[in-house]
């Protein structure tokens, strides 16, 4: 299923195909059960599937993709010549 046509709520069968491919898709329900203990979004009982954007975001965080740490705060002007002899002009 192309990403732009993926429904917002997907079944575990669809999740298995998207995440593991055709050969391993049947392994997804068991894997999902284990990952739910670590925070993988569960199947929404009303919608009958997992909210795909949340699943993808959770997996991205799990693998350190798209970290929102914000980088480092500036602590002053950089001195790139530290430890080098100054060139005479």
pLDDT in tens, the chain (89 residues): 555 788 999 999 999 999 999 999 999 999 999 999 999 999 999 999 999 999 999 999 999 898 666 555 666 676 667 666 666 65
Helix (H) or strand (E) holding 16: helix 12-20
CB 28 within 8 A of CB 18: no
């Amino acid at each position: 299923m192309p990403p732009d046509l993926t429904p917002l709520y997907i079944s575990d069968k669809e999740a298995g195909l998207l995440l593991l491919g055709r050969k391993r898709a049947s392994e997804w329900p068991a894997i999902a059960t284990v990952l739910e203990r670590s925070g993988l979004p569960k199947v929404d009982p009303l919608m009958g599937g997992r909210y795909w954007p949340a699943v993808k975001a959770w997996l991205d965080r799990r693998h350190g993709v798209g970290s929102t740490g914000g980088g480092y705060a500036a602590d002053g002007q950089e001195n790139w010549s530290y430890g080098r002899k100054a060139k005479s002009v």
